[in-house]
Structure 1
Amino acid sequence: MRPWEGAEIKKPIVDLGISQWSTMAEDWEKESERLVAAVVEALAAAPWGGGAEGDAFKAAHFRNDGPIRMLNQCGSLSKEITDASGRLRTTIDNTLGTDADIEHDLATREI
């Protein structure tokens, strides 16, 4: 027996969960934009200074794109998290539609 055999999708429960996910994701996307902007602003202030030690720190800190790569990934991941709810809703609707079509086919099939 497969773990999902006999599983049933309860649309109202799924819709509630997806709505909660969507709300959380949209809130996080806005918050992450604010946090990324704050980090960019802090980096622009160049708090490491201009001396040899500051230059060495900056070179090490920004090696391999340093925080810039992380900040870009944060934005991309936040968007993917937000978009996941729509993709999941489509997948669930397609699954329910397929199940209904199969059930109808089995019920009307001549033996």
Structure 2
Amino acid sequence: MGDIYQLDAFRTAKATGDRFLPRFDFGKYLAQTRKKQGLTQEQLGNRIDYDRSMVSRWETSALEVRPAEAAALAKAMGEPNLLTHYCSECSVGKTYNEMCRPKPAA
């Protein structure tokens, strides 16, 4: 199912002209956070009932991390900044930030 999700995201990005690099920085940040905590990919995967290969695919951005997975990863590592980093890259987070920016005085 993950591969189909990835393909759909790629098609959407291609159709809209967007660059397809979803959560590239998130994957790097996930790997850094995991390593700082001294966890292997297998150990982290076990904490959230996924196998090592899924963690590897997320860290290398071979597969996009879904919101529920990002939440599970953050809880498993006790790292709320993981969610902050995730949301800063997703379209919902970007739209929220744009809407909350102060409007220039007229």
TM-score, normalised via structure 2 length: 0.28
Question: Which structure has the highest helix share of the two?
Answer: 1
Larger gyration radius, structure 1 or structure 2: 1
- Larger RCO (CA under 8 A, 6+ residues apart): 1
TM-score, normalised via structure 1 length: 0.27
